[in-house]
Amino acid sequence: MTISQARNIGLPLMNLVKMGGTPILQQLQLEEKLLRTTSDNWCIINDGTNDPTIVMGMSGRPAELLELEPVIQDQVPVIRRFSGGGTVIVDPGTIFVTFICNRDDIPGIQPYPRPIMKWSGELYKEVFSGIGDFHLRENDYVLGNHKFGGNAQSITKNRWVHHTSFLWNYDVRNMAYLKLPSRAPEYRSARNHVDFVCRMKDHMSRSTFIEKTVEATRNYFMVRPLQLETIDTSKTLFTPSTRLLSKEELSSALQSQTKKFCLERVQ
C-alpha cells in the first residue's frame, strides 16, 4: 500500500471532473444541477472559458454593477448565476475551481459562509505554499495586497457549493465593463480594477496550479476522476436558475438608469 492510498482510507469520495474551455453558462448550470439533484461530492475544474462573459451573483443589479452602454454595444454576454457573491468578467485566462460537498463530509465545517471560506483558505494555502504571500483576506484570495481569486457560495440544507474564479491572466480592456462596486472589501481602498488585481501567471503555471489543487483536495477526500461525458443527469428533471440575461433586460436597465440620472439632475 502506498502512502497516498493509506492517506485516503476512511475519507469520503469526491468525483473530479476536469474540463477545458467549457462555456461558463454550461458549467454553472451543471454545478447547480449536481448540487440539487445528486448526493455526491464533486470537484469541477474548468481551465478557461470560451468568450469574455460577465457573471453576476443572484441578486446583482446590472445598472449598479456594469457599464451598460459598452456592454450592450459590444454584445458582452451577462449571466446571473445561482450563487451569491460579486460580479466578475471571465475569459480564456480564467481558471474555475468548484467544490460541491455534503455538509457532513468535512468534519467540523458548519454550512455557513465563513467556516467554508476558512476551510477553502486552508486548502489553497497548501496549493500556494512557498509562492508569494498568499492568504485569505475577507472573502478573497490574495497575493500580498492584490486579489487573484473571487469566491461565491450557495448553501442548501445538507449541501453547499464553493466556487472560485482564478485570474491566471486577464485582458485589461475587459475590466472597463465593470463599475467600481459600492460595497467593496476595506483592503481594496477604492483602487480601480487593474490596481486591485494581479495575475497568477506571474507566480505559477496553469498545469501546476491544477495539479496542486487536486493534490490538496486529496487531504480531505478520496478523489475519483470522471469524464464529463459519463455524468448522466438527463433523467432528472431540473430547471436551472442560472441564466443569460437578454438584450432587452439590459436595455431596460440602461433606460431606467438614464431616466433616474435625468430626474436627479432636474432636482
User: Does the pLDDT of residue 8 top 90, yes or no?
Assistant: no
Bigger pLDDT: 189 vs 75: 75
Global pTM reads 0.91
Q: Which has the closest alpha carbon to 78: 69, 63, 89? A: 89
Does residue 10 sit in helix, strand or coil?
coil
> How far is it, in rounded angstroms, from Cα 138 to Cα 150?
11
Q: Which has the closest alpha carbon to 248: 56, 49, 72, 46? A: 72
Kindly report, residue by residue over 119-176, the tens digit of the pLDDT.
Answer: 999 999 999 999 889 999 989 999 999 999 999 999 999 999 999 999 999 999 999 9
Cell of residue 87, nine digits: 460580479
Bigger pLDDT: 27 vs 266: 27
Kindly report, residue by residue over 20-74, the tens digit of the pLDDT.
Answer: 999 999 999 999 999 999 999 999 999 999 999 999 999 999 999 999 999 999 9
- Buried b / exposed e across 135-161, counting CB within 10 Å, b at 16+? ebbebbbbbeebbbbbbbbbbeeebbb
Cell of residue 120, nine digits: 477553502
Sorted by where each starts, the structural domains of the chain and their CATH numbers stand as 3-266 (3.30.930.10)
**266 band by pLDDT with thresholds 50, 70 and 90:** low
